[in-house]
Amino acid sequence: MSNAQAVTDADFEGQVEQAAGLTVVDFWATWCGPCRMIAPILDQLAVDYVGQVKMTKLDVDANIKTATRFNVRSIPMLLFFKDGKVVDQIVGAVPRQAIEAKLKQHVAAA
């Protein structure tokens, strides 16, 4: 069971774009090996930063409208939203330290 909340085309606006604070969206797909590599890292960060960061996942195959809207061409892609606006991104499978550094940077700026 993932600690990250699944979001879809239907609820993306309410769950991410209208959310206060920092929300991270993991654009992923079931067939994507690198996506599966970073999934446990994101799950652990969701626990470590509970109350500070909302961690979400969007399956690009099932939610083409949102993936297209944010120009997702490579996955995994993490978009960092602050109060509903994109403030940062990471493309590709990166180590936990790289993701956590971005989290800390945006949580500290809150």
Catalytic residues: 32, 35
Give the angle 110-86-9 at the CA atoms, nearest 5°: 120
Would you give the DSSP letter of residue 45? H
CA-nearest of 54, 37, 36, 35 to 45 is 54
CA distance linking residue 91 with residue 72, whole number of Å = 9
The region, left, alpha or beta by phi > 0 then psi within -120 to 50, assigned to residue 8 is: beta
Length reported for the chain: 110
